[in-house]
Amino acid sequence: MTSPDALRLIPGAAEAIRILNERSTKAIVVTNQRGIALGRMSEADYAAVNARLLAELASEGAWLDAVLHCPHQAGTCDCRKPAPGMLERAAREVPGATLEGAAIVGDSAADVETGRRLGVTTVRLGKPASGEPSADHRAPNLLEAVRWLTGVPSG
């Protein structure tokens, strides 16, 4: 996505983040943005999309403790998922964040692989392809994932 106007929060996403906020659990986004390396978008384009994300969450009373992105081409860095660099950086730089007890929730095999490399709990959103590394849990969306992780019931 290169335009903030294309950004839509998935239903329940803000509620999911709010559950984490209310429990003082760190909510951190780690995102591969190879489009920057490929010249499909600039750092400024990405920053504008991210600012819109934060504003949309704020309008629903939710916030992120950090957003980290990898702007690099595949195979050129230690932070593009499934490399663990962004999670390690989050644990190092975000006050109160730790890998111990952490979980990664994502909609790709790379997200699951990232978590497995660090030994954190993994939750795969959506339907995995055959042959993917299996996650600790599967959920249809972020809200259900957070409910499973936190033990907060539905409704």
Q: Which is nearer to Zn ion, 80 or 124 (CB)?
A: 80
Distance, in Å, from the CA atom of 83 to the CA atom of 36, rounded to the nearest integer, reads 18
| Per-residue binder mask for Zn ion (CB under 5 A), 74-93, x = binder | ---x-xx-------------
Q: Which is nearer to Zn ion, 104 or 142 (CB)?
A: 104
Q: Which is nearer to Zn ion, 56 or 88 (CB)?
A: 88
Cα angle 135-93-45, degrees, rounded to a multiple of 5: 80
Distance in Å, CB of 144 to Zn ion, minimum:
29
Q: Does 36 bind Zn ion (CB under 5 A)?
A: no
Distance, in Å, from the CA atom of 26 to the CA atom of 74, rounded to the nearest integer, reads 27
Distance in Å, CB of 137 to Zn ion, minimum:
27
Q: Does 70 bind Zn ion (CB under 5 A)?
A: yes
The residue assigned the tokens 């003082």 is 24
Distance, in Å, from the CA atom of 16 to the CA atom of 73, rounded to the nearest integer, reads 31
